[in-house]
Structure 1
Amino acid sequence: MKKLLQSYFDEVKWLYNDNYIPTLEEYLKVSAISGGYMMLSTTSLVGMGDDQVSKKDFDWIVNEPLIDQESALLARLLDDLVGDEYEEKPSSIHCYMRQYGLSEDDARGQIKQRVKNAWKDMNQGCLESTPASMPILMRVINLARAAQLIYSDGDCYTDPTNRKNG
């Protein structure tokens, strides 16, 4: 929760610093946390029960393993792809365009590639040996799947009626 609140504060500083556009790395470091997915992955373990979650599992997820970082990054990037024109803060698209001199279409292409890479990293994280059990890993993966669904037909998080039938 401390990290989440600090990331909100950092984003506010950008807005009140003449609409500062951070570097891509700066943006991703802060905004992956401000999306709340890392906090959700941790708090989602609370309701699983003592027979499925151990202190070792909590220690593992609190140390922000790559699979959790990539899940949070994926959610942020998907949100940026569908909602950057509605938000009053910088997005990864703006950061790419400014830092690398890309067109919006090229920046969006780069973000889509990073989403694909995040999925690859998460899948690899499930194949490697880790202190976390498969039910814990699946919590993180399922949060990423939820993000993919929420943002697959536009921004269904901000506007749940946006979801297409079928």
Structure 2
Amino acid sequence: MDDIYDAYGTLEELQLLTNAVQRLDAHYINQLPEYMKSFYKPLLDFYEEMKEAMIKQRKSYRVKYAKDTFKQVSESYFVEAKWYNENYIPTMEEYMRNAVVSFAYIMATIASFVGMGDFVTPEIFNWASNNPKIIYASSIVGRLMDDVASHKFEQERGHCASAVECYMREHAVSEEEACSELKKQVENSWKDINQELIFSEISKVVPGPVLTQILNFTRVIDFLYKTGDGITHVGKKTKDGITSLLIDPISVSY
């Protein structure tokens, strides 16, 4: 979904889709072009199924958090589409303010909480939705690793400027220098994550399984982007890693 504006049409049509996503209501489906309905209808069905499952567990409030973060991602995609259409290169600050949302780490994390146990209270959803330090740092890790790994391919096929292009322009440095600096920022964000997990008071108010979920998402990102874009270009390393984890796991004897 990060490249939704590559798949769909004009900026005006994307604006229609963004507005429809802000409501997530079947009444708006007829306002969309025919080819967009194939995306919007399954999206509505997905959230409706989620809602029905949570109603049975008396946890329907969780679906609102999942929807709200998806709407934020939709808005951030439209911003990127607008930049792309206008050939606009934002400052790093402007880019990152939008990019930590468009990477969809917050959305994926909140969605993963929906099916978890009773220890994930409304307070936890509210905490996570407000982009606390550990989630913000994880979003930085994901966004910058993604940009460094995939910016060349994305620029060739048509994409808004990534952190690499924004940093190069703002600081008048080479691509190599920009990537080196962005990798340092990834390292610093990992330090923030470790600081939060080990030394902060967060573990006294946030359940361990919630923090582990956040950490594991970030580990997945690190695995997928460490040696390239393992999502767009799925290679042997990605396949072998998934196989060893899910298909042929190593048994551990105690």
Whether the 8 Å CA contact 1:60–1:132 is kept in 2: the answer is: no
* 2:77 paired residue number: 8
**Residue 93 of structure 1 pairs with residue 171 of structure 2:** no
Whether the 8 Å CA contact 1:11–1:89 is kept in 2: the answer is: yes
Measure, in 2, the Cα distance between the counterparts of 1:63 and 1:32: 13
* 1:122 paired residue number: 193
**Residue 37 of structure 1 pairs with residue 105 of structure 2:** yes
Q: How far did 1:31 drift? A: 1.1
Q: How far did 1:162 drift? A: 5.1
Letter of the 1:42 counterpart? I
Larger Rg, first or second structure (1 or 2): 2
Cα deviation per residue 1:118-148 (whole Å; 9 max; x = unaligned)? 1001111113112312211111111110000
TM-score w.r.t. length of structure 1: 0.93
Q: How far did 1:163 drift? A: 2.5
**Residue 154 of structure 1 pairs with residue 228 of structure 2:** yes
**Residue 67 of structure 1 pairs with residue 130 of structure 2:** no
Higher deviation after alignment, 41-50 or 105-114: 41-50
By percentage of residues, which structure has more helix? 2
For 1:56, which of 120, 123, 130 is the aligned residue?
A: 123
Higher deviation after alignment, 120-129 or 156-165: 156-165
Runs of 4+ in 1 over 4 A off after TM superposition: none
Stretches of structure 2 that go unaligned for 5 or more consecutive residues are 1-69, 242-254
TM-score w.r.t. length of structure 2: 0.62
Letter of the 2:216 counterpart? N
Root mean square deviation of aligned Cα = 1.4
**Residue 25 of structure 1 pairs with residue 99 of structure 2:** no
For 2:209, which of 121, 125, 135 is the aligned residue?
A: 135
Identity percentage of aligned residues: 37
Measure, in 1, the Cα distance between the counterparts of 2:185 and 2:94: 16
Measure, in 2, the Cα distance between the counterparts of 1:117 and 1:162: 29
* 1:110 paired residue number: 181
Letter of the 2:105 counterpart? Y
Letter of the 2:195 counterpart? Q
Measure, in 2, the Cα distance between the counterparts of 1:27 and 1:70: 16
Stretches of structure 1 that go unaligned for 5 or more consecutive residues are none
Matched residues, number = 164
Secondary structure at the counterpart of residue 152 of structure 2: coil
Measure, in 2, the Cα distance between the counterparts of 1:91 and 1:74: 14
Letter of the 1:69 counterpart? Y
Whether the 8 Å CA contact 1:7–1:31 is kept in 2: the answer is: yes
Cα deviation per residue 1:18-65 (whole Å; 9 max; x = unaligned)? x11110011111111111111011111111122x31122111101110
Q: How far did 1:161 drift? A: 2.6
